[in-house]
Amino acid sequence: MIKRDETLGKLRKFADKRLVKVVTGIRRCGKSTALAMFREELKGKVPNANFVVLDFERAENRGIRTAEALYQRVAGALADGRGNYVFLDEIQHVEKFEEAVDALYARGDCDLYVTGSNSRLLSSEIATLLSGRHVEIHMQPLSFAEFLSARRNKAADVAGAWRDYVRFGSFPYATEFIPDAEAVDIYLEGLYNTIVMKDVVQRRKISDPALLDRIVRYLFDNIGNVTTVKAVCDALSAGGRKVAPQTVDHYVEGLREAFIVRRADRYDLRGRELLKTGAKYYASDMGLRRHVLGGAVRDYGRILENLVYLELLRRGREVHVGTSQGGGEIDFVAVMPGGLEYWQVAATVRDAATLARELRPLRERRDNYPKWLVTLDDDPPIDHDGIRQIPAFDFFLGNGRK
């Protein structure tokens, strides 16, 4: 098993706190494995603990599909006078599960951990009943640092691991098949079909899976481009398929809920507020994107931008696309408790004109917030009058910064 230190650290921080720990993330990103590792740690520290573990995708738990059945099953397994730790995996399969979680929380005799592959766990269900009484721990597939750690067991160098990361993606189990491209593609095909059918089609009651697939392809093909519902409708219409904007919006929201795509809203740099129109969409995994689109990996600049976006999210930033009235754009404005960070991303800036173009929007920001330029150029870090240019490997591996 690949150790997920970032997630384990968050679980340790909130263990035994009077909060429901809600672990969310795309299917097969490693949620269950991380919690299994965490349980092993707890067993070493709390030898007399009582563990109640229910995975609602296992056949033996298919009879538990209501809040009442869930509550009774867990309540009957709790022990008196012992620390109770309750783990409820892929809980979105239980109707009105939030009522059972709320009732278990109210008992006060168990530490609750809940996982799910749908963002509505927080946006509507759990958040409504447990406002202020839960904490979200969001997981993604492997970071490049985690991927490299796994690949080093197979004698992979950093550059070679990067090529594999971009080509095959970051789902933990996919690393078992590298470098067998055919085996990875078979695995990704099954994973994609499972995510689309179980986490989007069934949950959203989508009647046209073929249309959903076309929308996925459009969003994957346009990572890093400002996208609107109208743009998607126009592209589908040009391909001979007329679709109502409401249908496209419904399907895109389903993809977001299942974490297949992530949306970065536009941020007005002057007014410092989010804009209501247009956004950029990014793929949750580069291997999944390559598999869906087919063909060789070529658009390295946009892939790097996508991966930087995901990494900033992984590090706890709220990430937007910076825009100004003059038409200038900063790839990412990262919001943190202490202020902002500005991030520009480019495949290469060795051409002087390209470097000047990438630096210009950062130089136009007259505040003192940190400004970064990430590139694939294998050059030492450079300081451009306070704008820090760093190689992508340094960024993803955390070299030279906190």
Lowest-pLDDT choice from 69-83, 96-110, 114-128: 114-128
- pLDDT of 282 above 50: yes
Question: What pLDDT is stored for residue 36 in this prediction?
Answer: 96
CB–CB of 263/280 below 8 Å?
yes
Cα torsion 4, 6, 7, 12 to 10°: value is 110
Question: What pLDDT is stored for residue 275 in this prediction?
Answer: 85
pLDDT confidence band for 402 (50 / 70 / 90): very low
**Number of domains into which the chain is organized:** 1
Lowest-pLDDT choice from 61-65, 111-115, 154-158, 272-276: 154-158
User: Range of 38's domain?
Assistant: 5-138
Query: Is position 296 within any domain?
Result: no
Query: Is position 42 within any domain?
Result: yes
Question: What pLDDT is stored for residue 401 in this prediction?
Answer: 43
- pLDDT of 142 above 50: yes
- pLDDT of 234 above 60: yes
Question: What pLDDT is stored for residue 326 in this prediction?
Answer: 63
Question: What pLDDT is stored for residue 296 in this prediction?
Answer: 76
Task: Report angle CA 385, 272, 321 to the nearest 5 degrees.
Answer: 70
Query: Is position 254 within any domain?
Result: no
Question: What pLDDT is stored for residue 122 in this prediction?
Answer: 63
Question: What pLDDT is stored for residue 82 in this prediction?
Answer: 85
Query: Is position 82 within any domain?
Result: yes
Query: Is position 154 within any domain?
Result: no
Alpha carbon distance 129, 101 (integer Å): 9
Query: Is position 347 within any domain?
Result: no
State the chain's mean pLDDT as an integer: 92
CB-side exposure of 287: number of CA atoms within 13 Å?
32
Query: Is position 62 within any domain?
Result: yes
Predicted TM-score (pTM) of this structure:
0.93
pLDDT of 262-272, one tens digit each? 999 999 888 88
Query: Is position 79 within any domain?
Result: yes
DSSP per-residue letters across 24-66: E-STTSSHHHHHHHHHHHHHHH-TT-EEEEEETTSGGGTT--B
Peptide bond into 337 cis (omega under 30): no
CATH code where residue 16 lies:
3.40.50.300
The mean pLDDT of 124-132, rounded to a whole number, is 73
pLDDT confidence band for 325 (50 / 70 / 90): low
pLDDT of 369-401, one tens digit each? 999 999 999 999 999 999 999 999 999 998 644
Question: What pLDDT is stored for residue 52 in this prediction?
Answer: 98
Alpha carbon distance 256, 249 (integer Å): 10
% of the chain residues with pLDDT over 70: 95
Question: What pLDDT is stored for residue 157 in this prediction?
Answer: 85
Question: What pLDDT is stored for residue 147 in this prediction?
Answer: 94
pLDDT of 247-258, one tens digit each? 999 999 999 999
CB–CB of 388/370 below 8 Å?
yes
